[in-house]
Structure 1
């Protein structure tokens, strides 16, 4: 990491960049990390290629939404804790404000028929988007490894049957895959590294209290934030199990609408927690949910960042995270089935979902935001032609 005297940009410039990216960065985590490379490495040359690659590797290795963690790491490169904190806040704040505004509108106008029609179409499109994303993640992350496929299928089947997601299953998957790999050629020191990493995650309390709704929200969402690996979509099945099934804060339709909101807003997909928090407990709920979700992401970035060059590539740590990632992707695949049963209810929604999948598979030029807008228009037209 460079000396401050030769830093080619000010902290203010970096914060302004992430404010802009958070307000205009559509396309999901892969697109967002691509924008950062294009803007900060290629064009402006603020960040070296090596620093960018190390930040991306850490973001993929540790729990937390990929794009947000990379942004935090980039802030840390030259300005340490202050830079990481301000870059992270600047990246998340615009999309939080947007989903908060949408939450207010949704809460007060949910009963209006046009809004119900919009989400009728959008909900079906979202299922198609998640299905394609799950398939891409599956191909990329499981490959031909039979043990990863085993973990993936167990997580998918468990999610479908229970309509819930168990954090302990994720941890067990990580330990299982680490044991499989350590039985081969891993050195003893690598195993010790994984043993250090595992207790860090196990210290997260999996219980909730009855002391108040805000405390429940905080405890639930801090667990959610600690187990989002790579893609923000990994949080969807976890949120469904808690928000809908366990606590009943939202009904199934409201939850699907919350996922839809995440798809049509810029910034990290995980910011949907702000929308969910607002529907659950107003502005306080939105703020607590957002803070609790992103705080683990922040810690898992700034704490290991100074040591990542030395220890981040150890095979024991990588194996543990690979196991959790396979389980997370399996849970996403299972969530497609669980959520699809609610949103795909008739011929029009089947067609919207099928067309969405076809477009995403066959075309690289049509973005998810265009599909969502088209699905919203289709929902309006269908409800006008066939009023319920």
Structure 2
């Protein structure tokens, strides 16, 4: 019996989590990845750090800070990073790929329905209750991460400044992260204790995780490996783009989709909302892919289905090819156009992680870098709080209005547009999770069922 068990024991990584078990967990993370980056990061934090204890708080935040600096959806890249840490490149592809798979399937199905039948109000009604639970999950993430990350007044001040900058001053997200990083870098380099890792979460619970705090063998940076990674992922990303341009020409719809969304993949710092206005303008005015207002319909799909909000680009690619199908059947062309937009959007995300993560991992003990990432962690708390408030306003209120006061501006809720049922479900979800410590899944299930009941009884349209 001992001999038959030996090969299995040797096949398991040192942390003891098999690839099959990881697959099931990442599939669960993907299925629950609602609510934009704040909600998705909250779900991952809850499952990976609190429940499974796969990775420590400080390592989770270290990885998150790096992903926040990259173009593209930070939550999907964070999943790829942790998957890579746990099970090498295959684990990263599995975690990152599964993270977007439910969104790909959902957006594609909804795009078909939209193209054939027009607006689909049932989708918003279907996920009405789900949004209430997501709001509670996001708020819980702010509290959990804030308690662990904001261990002194300087870090609290950075978090507050980041919130004010992004919520009231509409400061660019990359500028906020850069400013926080510079403050932390010089503070850490000067040896200020407020910026050292031990002051924001490196406690006993941090050491109680399966991955441990050591550097895995595959995470050691190697120039030869870096060159191979860059060559492989640049080929996978750009060769299809070049092939389409050479075979079909630059003016063909598939070539336009490949080039345009490859450019977008390079500049999506700060999440989907940083570029959606530009994408909408280009898709309507320059390319004629969408009709005015249709971008909001696509965004509604992305907001109410699992996966990153940037998945809305699949809807844009679908409609572009559907309306300019050429010799192909329109639905087939739309499907290919949507998948092409998704591919050139997410292929670079794997490149950024597999190329850069080893260097970020080996620098975890660097005092200046630790200080920079400590400050970025604090700023991220402020940014997530901003996202939580934004998500809450748009969940509970039907309309917002721009309010300006000197240099300050914000989208304030129109109080007359409050949705009483949304407010009631959100309050119940928050009470359940914070007061009675009800789990994430039961809360999601209860609010989803409540939303469906309200729809079936005609209370909500």
In structure 2, relative to structure 1, the CA distance for the partners of 1:91 and 1:170 (3 Å cut) is same
- Name structure 1 gaps, 5 residues minimum: 39-48, 76-83, 187-210, 228-236, 263-270
**Corresponding residue for residue 31 of structure 1:** 47
**Corresponding residue for residue 72 of structure 1:** 84
* Structure 1 residue 296 displacement after superposition: 1.7
Does the CA contact (< 8 Å) of 1:122 and 1:375 recur in 2?
yes
**Corresponding residue for residue 305 of structure 2:** 261
Name the TM-score, length of structure 1 as normaliser: 0.67
In structure 2, relative to structure 1, the CA distance for the partners of 1:16 and 1:246 (3 Å cut) is same
Does the CA contact (< 8 Å) of 2:79 and 2:95 recur in 1?
no
Deviation digits for residues 30-69 of structure 1, max 9, x if unmatched?
Answer: 413567667xxxxxxxxxx9xx999768636643654432
* Structure 1 residue 323 displacement after superposition: 1.4
Task: Please say which of residues 376-385 and 168-177 is displaced more in the overlay.
Answer: 376-385
Q: Distance in 1 between matches of 2:20 and 2:8?
A: 20
Does the CA contact (< 8 Å) of 1:118 and 1:379 recur in 2?
yes
Does the CA contact (< 8 Å) of 1:100 and 1:274 recur in 2?
no
* Structure 1 residue 163 displacement after superposition: 5.3
Deviation digits for residues 70-96 of structure 1, max 9, x if unmatched?
Answer: 321233xxxxxxxx2222112233343
**Corresponding residue for residue 360 of structure 1:** 433
Task: Please say which of residues 253-262 and 316-325 is displaced more in the overlay.
Answer: 253-262
Aligned pairs (5 A) from 1:200-211:
none
Asked if residue 87 in structure 1 is aligned to residue 131 in structure 2, the reply is no
In structure 2, relative to structure 1, the CA distance for the partners of 1:242 and 1:135 (3 Å cut) is farther
Aligned pairs (5 A) from 1:234-273:
238-243=271-276, 245-248=277-280, 251=295, 254-255=298-299, 258-262=302-306, 271-272=307-308
SS in 1 for 2:10: coil
**Corresponding residue for residue 248 of structure 2:** none
In structure 2, relative to structure 1, the CA distance for the partners of 1:124 and 1:221 (3 Å cut) is farther
Does the CA contact (< 8 Å) of 1:118 and 1:377 recur in 2?
no
In structure 2, relative to structure 1, the CA distance for the partners of 1:114 and 1:15 (3 Å cut) is same
Asked if residue 147 in structure 1 is aligned to residue 157 in structure 2, the reply is no
SS in 1 for 2:81: helix
Q: Distance in 2 between matches of 1:34 and 1:61?
A: 19
SS in 2 for 1:31: helix
Q: Distance in 2 between matches of 1:273 and 1:289?
A: 12
In structure 2, relative to structure 1, the CA distance for the partners of 1:351 and 1:218 (3 Å cut) is farther
Aligned pairs (5 A) from 1:213-292:
213-222=257-266, 238-243=271-276, 245-248=277-280, 251=295, 254-255=298-299, 258-262=302-306, 271-272=307-308, 275-281=311-317, 282-292=338-348
In structure 2, relative to structure 1, the CA distance for the partners of 1:295 and 1:164 (3 Å cut) is farther
Q: Distance in 2 between matches of 1:374 and 1:343?
A: 17
Does the CA contact (< 8 Å) of 1:119 and 1:379 recur in 2?
yes
**Corresponding residue for residue 246 of structure 2:** none
Q: Distance in 2 between matches of 1:331 and 1:359?
A: 25
2:104 to 100, 106, 124: 100
**Corresponding residue for residue 80 of structure 1:** none
**Corresponding residue for residue 381 of structure 1:** 453
In structure 2, relative to structure 1, the CA distance for the partners of 1:212 and 1:316 (3 Å cut) is farther
* Structure 1 residue 140 displacement after superposition: 1.7
Q: Distance in 2 between matches of 1:22 and 1:359?
A: 25
**Corresponding residue for residue 219 of structure 2:** none
SS in 1 for 2:365: coil
Deviation digits for residues 226-276 of structure 1, max 9, x if unmatched?
Answer: x7xxxxxxxxx6322333x443388567546534433xxxxxxxx425733
Name the TM-score, length of structure 2 as normaliser: 0.58
* Structure 1 residue 347 displacement after superposition: 1.0
Asked if residue 298 in structure 1 is aligned to residue 371 in structure 2, the reply is no
Aligned pairs (5 A) from 1:100-139:
100-109=104-113, 111-139=119-147
**Corresponding residue for residue 81 of structure 1:** none
Q: Distance in 2 between matches of 1:359 and 1:56?
A: 26
Does the CA contact (< 8 Å) of 1:58 and 1:301 recur in 2?
no
* Structure 1 residue 325 displacement after superposition: 1.7
How many residue pairs are counted as aligned between the two chains? 313
SS in 2 for 1:296: helix
* Structure 1 residue 179 displacement after superposition: 2.0
Asked if residue 161 in structure 1 is aligned to residue 193 in structure 2, the reply is no
In structure 2, relative to structure 1, the CA distance for the partners of 1:172 and 1:57 (3 Å cut) is closer
2:10 to 5, 8, 12: 8
**Corresponding residue for residue 189 of structure 1:** none
Asked if residue 326 in structure 1 is aligned to residue 378 in structure 2, the reply is yes
SS in 1 for 2:305: helix
Provide the alpha-carbon RMSD of the alignment. 3.7
